[in-house]
Structure 1
Amino acid sequence: MLINFGRKRSRYEEALPNIDIFVCTADPMIEPPAMVINTVLSVMAYDYPPQKLNVYLSDDGGSDLTFYAMVEASSFSKIWLPFCKKFKVEPRSPEAYFRTAVLEPLEDPVKAKERSSIKKSYEGMKKRIETTTKLGRISEEIRKQHKGFREWNSVASRRYHQTILQILVHAKDPKAVDIEGQPLPTLVYLAREKRPQYHHNFKAGSVNALIRVSSRISNGPIILILDCDMYSNNSESMRDAVCFFMDEEKGHEVGFVQFPQSFENLTKNDVYGSSLNVEIHGFDGNGGPCFIGTGCFHRRNALCGQKYSDQECKENWKGWNDIKMEETASVLEDTSKVLASCTYEEKYAQWGNEMGLKYGCPVEDVITGLAIQCRGWRSIYFNPERKGFLGLAPTTLLQTLIQHRRWSEVPSLCLLSGIPLFPKISSAWVLPFAFVIIVHRAYSLGEFVWCGGTFQGWWNEQRMWLFKRISSYFFAFIDNILKLMGFTDSAFAITAKVAETDVSQRCEQELMEFGASSPMFTVIATMALLNAFCFVGGMKRVLMDMQSWFSNPFTLQILLCALLVIISLPVYQGLFLRKDEGRMPSSVTQWSLMFAALACALACY
C-alpha cells in the first residue's frame, strides 16, 4: 500500500480520528513506575491533536506506587508537552531524551535554558518517585495530594481489591491545559477488580477491561496497545499509522498496523537473539504480520469481533468522530467501574472468545491477530527509518528462556549408539541433504543481514533458537499438557525490565548470563555436555574403524554434532571456565553432568 503521507496529513487534519492508547503494567518492582511514566509521557507528547488523544494505564499490580507516579506525570506533562512541540524534540520519553540530549549542539540559547529547567524538574520528579518506590509505601503528605489515594484504604492486596478508576486529566475539563493554555490528552489510571475466585486472564483480561472502559470514556475508533517499557521513539508514528486506516482505496480493509518490536539495549551482535525483525517481516508477504502484543494500532471494531464487510466498513469511516462524551470525570468514573469488574464477563461470555484479546493461551496476542485476519481483515507491517517504539530486551539468558517458554532434537545419541541417520558423503543421496542444509542456512543468513543484522548476530540467533527449542518450548509443552488435564492454571511470567549493574556490564560485553538456578539451564547444560560426549565418542568410532571420511556413514552426524558443540561454547565456558557471578551455578553443573553421563551410559548399553 503506497501512501502520500504529507498530502493526506494536510487533507485530513480536521478529520483525524480519536486514538485510545493502552499502556499495560503489572508489577511496580519488576516494571518500575519511573519507567512506566516515561512511556506514558512519550505517547502523550505525540505530534497529534492532544484533544484527540486518550491515554490509559492498566495497572494489574493495583499499586498506589504506580498511581502516585501517574499523578506526578500528569503534573509534569504540563511543561513537557509544550517543550517537545516547541522544539520538535525526539524521542519524547524524558529519560531517553535527556540521556541522548548531551549529543545535541547548544546553538539555541532559549532551548538550552528551557531544557536545563525542564531537566531539573524531571530529575526532581524521578527522584521523588524512586524514593517512594524504594520505601514501598505512600506517605501521608503525598496522600493528601489527590483524592484517588483514598481508594487504597479498602485494598486488601494486589490480588484482592475493587476496581480503581481515576481520570487524572479529562480533555473536557477547561482546566486540563498545559502552561501555554493548550489542551492536554485525557489521562486515565485503571486497576481492574481482582478476586481470588475469579481468573483474571493476565494481560488479555487487562486489555479487554481497557477496551470496555475506554468505550465509555472516549471510544476512540483506533486503539494503540503498548507494553510499559516500549516508549514512543518517533512522534509522527501515530499520523503514519492513521494514514493506512484513512486510505480511500484500501484503508477500510485494514484491521491493524504492526510496528516492529525494537530495543534500545541490544548489544552489537544481539547476544540473546531478541530481535524478531526477520520473522515479523516475513509474515508481511502472506496476508500481513501477526499481532505481537505491543506497538500495534488496532481498528476498535475489528478488535471487538466485527467481521470485515467491504461496504459496511467504508460507511462506518464517516461516523468515527461522531460520539462525544460530555459527562464530568467523576460521573464517568462512577459509571465505568462496573465495566472492569470481575463478574462483567460472566454475563457477556463472548469476551476473550469472539470479542477482544483471546483467553486460554499466554500468547494471546498472536492468536488474537490470527482471529482478526480470519474475520477478513488485513494487517500492515510498517517499519519506518526512525523506529516507532523502543523497549528493553532481556539482559540474561534465563529472562529470554522464560519469555519464550511463555510464548510456546537429539540425534547425538544415535551417533553414540552406532545408528547412522544420513547417507555416506560418497553417496549421491547425500546431495539433497547438503543442498537443503546449505541453501537454507545461506538464505537465513542473507535475510538476517539484509534486515540490518551482522554475521555474529545471526550466529547468536541460531544459538538462541537451539536453546529455546530444548528448554522454553519443552517446558511450555509440559505446561499446556498439565493445564489441559486440569492440574494447573495458566501462568503469566513478567520479564524483568531492570538489571543489576554487573549484569548490565556483562550483557554489554556479550557474555551470557547463567547466574540463576533453573531447570531450563539444567536442560541446556545437559544437552551441551551430551553433544560433547557424543562428538568424542563419534570421533573415536571413526578413528577405530580406520575408514575414509567419505565412506563413513557417520561423517554427517559427526559434523552436525561438532556444529552443536561450537554453538554451545558459551555453555561450556559458563560450566567450567568462568569465575564471575554470571557462571553456571554449581548445582546445575553437577546435575547436568550426572544426567548427560546417564544418557550416554544408557545409549552405549
Structure 2
Amino acid sequence: MHIPRTGDAGRYAWIGMFISEVLFGLYWIISQFVRWNVVHRYPFKDRLSRRYEDKLPAIDIFVCTADPILEPPSMAINTVLSVMAYNYPPEKLSVYLSDDGGSELTFYALLEASKFSKYWIPFCKKFAVEPRSPEAYFALNIDLNDSVFAQEWFSIKKLYEDMKTRIVSAVEKGCLSNEIKGQHKGFSEWNSKVTKKDHQSIVQILIEGWNPNAVDIDGNPLPTLVYLSREKKPQCAHNFKAGAMNALIRVSSEISDAPIILNVDCDMYSNDPDAIRDALCFFMDEKKGQQISYVQYPQNYENITKNDIYSNSGPPILKIELAGFDGYDAMPYIGTGCFHRRESLCGSKYFENRIVEWNDAEDKIKGRTIDEVEEASKLVANCSYEKGSQWGKEMGLVYGCAVEDMVTGLTILCRGWKPIYYNPTKKAFRGVAPTTLDQALVQYKRWSEGLFQIFLSKYCPLIYGHGKIKFGAQIGYCMYLLWAPISLPTLYYVVIPALCLLHSVPLFPKADDVVFLRIRDAVIRQLGFSETGFVVTAKVVNDDVLKRYEQEIIEFGNSSIMFTIISTLAMLNLFSLSWGIKKLVFGTTFGALENLIPQIIICGLIAMVNLPVYEALFFRGTKDVCHLQFCSSLSS
C-alpha cells in the first residue's frame, strides 16, 4: 500500500482520500442491504372482479396543486379528468382538487373540466381510450379509419381544445370576466381581500356523485368532484403539502369518507385506467390484505430522454432499490401515486384479527343539503381546527420536514402496518420531469436536505424504527438519508487531486510500481480492452430549451450559486488536466512526473463528465446563455 511517510508532501491529502474511500465503501455496503432483497409482485385483477365486484370499496382521489403559474390549471385538470375516467364504478369515486394557491383561475378550470367530463368519460369507456389524460391522448397518432370513431374523436378534440383555449386565455389575463363569474355560486368566495397566503376556507362541490341527476351524456353516473382551498393566515403555519393533504383527509371524511385514498400530484396523470383494481388486489387479499397500509406505485415520467441526463428516473432505484425495500415490508411513501388505507393514514395502529368490511361506510350526505355539507367541510379546513390536536404528529402526514412523505411512511410502518411496492410493466402514472439543470438541482437539494434532516431527528430509522421494522430496512433507509453527507467525500475527490496535481504533489503509487502494473493489466484483460484511449463524441448544440433536452444537451436555466460551484469545480479540473498534459509534453522528463499520472487520469475523467458544463460556458450563443457564461465564468 502506498502510504506517505511523515513529512512527505501530500500526506494529509492522502489521509483525506483514504477516509473518503472508507466512506464510499461503507455507503456501498449500506446500499447492498436492499439491492440483494428484491421482491416483485403480480396482482390478478380478473379474480378480483369475479369475487368482489359487488363489494368494491369507495375510493377518494386527492389531486394537489399550489400555484396557477408554476402549475398551470390546464395541466391539473388533465390529471383530474384522467382519474375521473377510471374503469371503476363512478358512484364509488370521489375526486378532490386541493388548490393551495386559493386561485379563482384554478377553480374556473375545474368548473370547465366538470362540464367536459360529461363527454370525455363516456368517450373513454366506449372506445377504451388510453391514456385518459386528454392532453396526452390527443398528442398521440391515432388511427381514424373507423368513421364512427373518427367523428366522435374530432368532436371531443374540438371540445377539449375550446376548453383549453378558454382556460389558458383566462390565466394569461390573470382575472375572470363577470360573465364567467356568473356561471357558478362558488366565484362569490373570491374578493379583493383574497390572496394566496391569506384567505378563508373554500369548499365547492361541483359534481354531486350521489345525485341521480349527476350523469354524463349517456345517462351514466359521474364521480363526485370537489374543489378545496384550505384556510391560510400569515400568522399560522400552513405546513406546505402535508398541511394540504391533512385538510383533504378531513374534508373528504365529511363528504365521502372512502376507506381507500389515492393521492397524486397535479402533473402526474393516470396512465392505466385499471390501476385502482390492481391496488385493490393487495388490499383485499384474504390472507395478508388486512395489514396493508398503502400500495406505492413508482414515479414515471413521459419526457425522459434515452440517457436520462438529469437522472430523474433511474432504473436502479425503480427496479432494484425500491423493490428491495418491499422485500423488508418497508417500502417508503414517496408522496404521489400512492393508494392509502384511510385508517392507517389517520394514525391507527395495526392489530391482528381485524375484521374489515369494505362496504360499511356511513352515508355522510344523508339528511344534509349541499350548503350544509360545504359549510361543515370548511370548518375542518380552517387553520384553528388543528390547534391542540394530533394532526401532523400522530394523525395524517407528519409536519416539520421537507420530505414529509418519507417521515409519514416511516411512522405508519412503526405502527405495525406493511406497505406494498408495485411497479407494473404498464406504467400506472406519468408525470413531467425537470427539463433544465436548475429545476433538477432544486429538486435534489430539497430531497437531500430533507432526508438528512430525518437522519438527525427523532425519526432516524436506526432509533425510531428499532424493534419496529427489520434491521435491513433501517439500514436501507439510511442509504437515502445519507445522500447529503456522502457528497462531501465526493467533493473531496473532485477538488484535492486536482489541487495536488497543480502543485506536483503525488497521491498515488508510481506508474511503474509492480502492484500498480499488475492491477492495470488485470483490469484491461478482464474488460477485453486494448491499451488505447477512448474517443469522446461531441454534443449537438441547439438554442431551444426543449430541443436541447430532447437532444440530451444539458440546459442550465438560470444563473445561481449552484452553477457557480459546478463551473468552479469543472474549471479547476480542466486547468489541472491542461497543466499536467503540458508538463508531460513540454516539461521535464517522464520519470519526474510518473507519480502524477493517476491524478492526471482522474482530472481527465472529471473533465469528460463536465463536457456539457464547458459547452454551456464557452460555446452556446444565445443572450440568456451568454449571460450565464459571463456570470458563472466570472464567479469561477
TM-score normalised by the chain length of structure 2: 0.78
Shift of 1:19: 0.9
| Superposition map of 1:302-313 within 5 A | 302-312=344-354
Query: Residues 554 and 3 of structure 1: is their aligned pair in 2 closer, same or farther, counting only changes over 3 Å?
Result: same
How many Å apart are 1:547 and its aligned residue?
Answer: 4.5
What's the secondary structure of 2:105's corresponding residue? helix
Please tell me whether the aligned partners of residues 567 and 632 of structure 2 are also in contact (alpha carbons under 8 angstroms).
no
Asked if 1:523 is matched to 2:565, the reply is yes
Q: How does 1:352-363 map to 2 (within 5 A)?
A: 352-363=392-403
**Separation in 2, partners of 1:293, 1:60:** 16
5 Å-filtered alignment, 1:462-481, equals none
Give the aligned partner of residue 453 of structure 2: none
Matched residue of 1:125: which SS?
helix
1:341 aligns with 2:427: no
Q: SS at 1:190's partner residue?
A: strand
What amino acid is the match of 1:324?
Answer: D
Instruction: Please show how residues 257-276 of structure 1 align to structure 2 within 5 Å.
Output: 257-276=295-314
Asked if the contact 2:90/2:221 (under 8 Å) is kept, the reply is: yes
What's the secondary structure of 2:420's corresponding residue?
A: strand
Q: In 1, Cα distance between the equivalents of 2:133 and 2:358?
A: 33
In the alignment, the residues of structure 1 paired with residue 96 and residue 590 of structure 2 have an alpha-carbon distance, to the nearest angstrom, of 70
Of residues 174-183 and 505-514 in structure 1, the stretch that sits farther from structure 2 once superposed is 505-514
Aligned-partner SS, 2:212: coil
**Conserved? CA contact 1:512–1:582, under 8 Å:** no
CA RMSD of aligned residues (A): 2.8
Q: Does 1:295 align with 2:337?
A: yes
Q: Is the 8 A contact 1:58 1:206 kept in 2?
A: yes
Does the CA-based 8 Å contact 1:574-1:582 persist in structure 2? no
Q: Where does 1:121-136 land on structure 2 (aligned, <5 Å)?
A: 121-136=159-174
Q: Which amino acid aligns with 1:284?
A: A
Contact 1:305 1:355 in 2 (8 A): yes
Is the Cα contact below 8 Å between 2:133 and 2:270 reproduced in 1?
A: yes
Q: Which runs of 5+ in 1 are unaligned?
A: 442-455, 461-500, 596-605
Distance 1:419 1:223 in 2: 60
1:503, CA displacement in angstroms? 1.9
Work out whether residues 503 and 582 of structure 1, in 8 Å CA contact, stay in contact via their aligned partners in 2.
no
Question: In the TM superposition, what whole-angstrom CA distance separates every residue of 1:347-385 from its partner, at most 9, and x where no partner exists?
Answer: 21x222222222222211222222222333222222222
How much does 1:3 deviate? 3.4
Q: % of aligned pairs identical?
A: 54
Of 273-282 and 338-347, deviating more is 273-282
Matched, 1:59 2:145: no
Q: How far off is 1:414 after superposition?
A: 3.6
| Pairs aligned (count) | 530
Q: Which has the larger radius of gyration?
A: 2
Match of 1:253 in 2: 291
The answer on 1:568 being equivalent to 2:610 is yes
Write the distance in 2 (CA, Å) between the matches of 1:356 and 1:546.
69
Q: Deviations over 1:177-206 (max 9, x none)?
A: 111221111111001001001111111111
The one-letter code matched in structure 2 to 1:258 is Q
Seen in structure 2, the aligned counterparts of structure 1 residues 548 and 50 have a Cα distance that, compared at 3 Å, is farther
Q: Give me the whole-angstrom Cα distance separating, in 1, the residues matched to 2:411 and 2:232.
A: 27
> Is residue 2:238 matched to residue 1:197?
no
The change in CA–CA distance for 1:552 and 1:210 in structure 2 (over 3 A counts) is same
Structure 1: distance between partners of 2:598 and 2:181: 69
| Residue 514 (1) aligns with residue 556 (2) | yes
Question: Is the Cα–Cα contact under 8 Å of residues 516 and 584 in structure 1 kept in the other structure?
Answer: no
Q: Gaps spanning 5+ residues in structure 2: where?
A: 1-40, 449-490, 528-535
Decide which moves more: 159-168 or 91-100. 91-100
Q: Distance in 2 between matches of 1:427 and 1:576?
A: 39
* 2:361 counterpart (295, 310, 322): 322
Q: 1:431 to 1:294 in 2, by over 3 A?
A: farther
Q: Structure 2: how far apart are the matches of 1:430 and 1:279?
A: 34
Q: Which residue of 2 aligns with 1:415?
A: 501
Which letter maps to 1:507?
Y
Q: How far did 1:5 drift?
A: 2.3
Distance 2:635 2:156 in 1: 59
Contact residue 422 and residue 430 of structure 1 kept, 8 A = no
Q: In the superposition, relative to structure 1, how do residues 257 and 415 fare at CA in structure 2: closer, same or farther (>3 Å)? A: farther
Distance 1:558 1:303, change over 3 A: farther
Pair 372,124 (structure 1): closer, same or farther in 2 beyond 3 Å: same
**Shift of the alpha carbon at 1:513?**
1.4
Amino acid of the residue matched to residue 75 of structure 1? K
- On the 8 A contact 2:114/2:207 being kept in 1, the answer is yes
Q: Contact conserved, 2:413 with 2:419, CA < 8 A, in 1?
A: yes
Within 1, Cα distance between the matches of 2:582 and 2:143?
A: 65
Check conservation: 2:87, 2:125, Cα contact below 8 A.
Answer: yes
Letter in 2 for 1:202: F
Aligned to 1:534: 576
Distance 1:73 1:388 in 2: 22
1:377–1:429 CA distance, 2 compared to 1 (3 A): farther
Residue by residue over 1:61-114, the C-alpha shift from the partner in whole angstroms, topping out at 9 and shown as x without a partner, is: 1000000011111111111111111111101111111121xx232233222211
Corresponding residue for 1:451?
A: none
TM-score between the two structures when normalised by the length of structure 1: 0.82
Question: Which residue does 1:139 correspond to in 2?
Answer: 177
Pick closer, same or farther for the CA change 1:220–1:207 going to 2, 3 Å: same
Matched, 1:29 2:72: no
- Please, which of 74, 77, 86 is the counterpart of residue 46 of structure 1? 86
Say if 1:254 and 1:377, in contact at 8 Å, map to a contact too. yes
Q: Is this contact kept in 1: 2:559–2:631, CA < 8 A? A: no
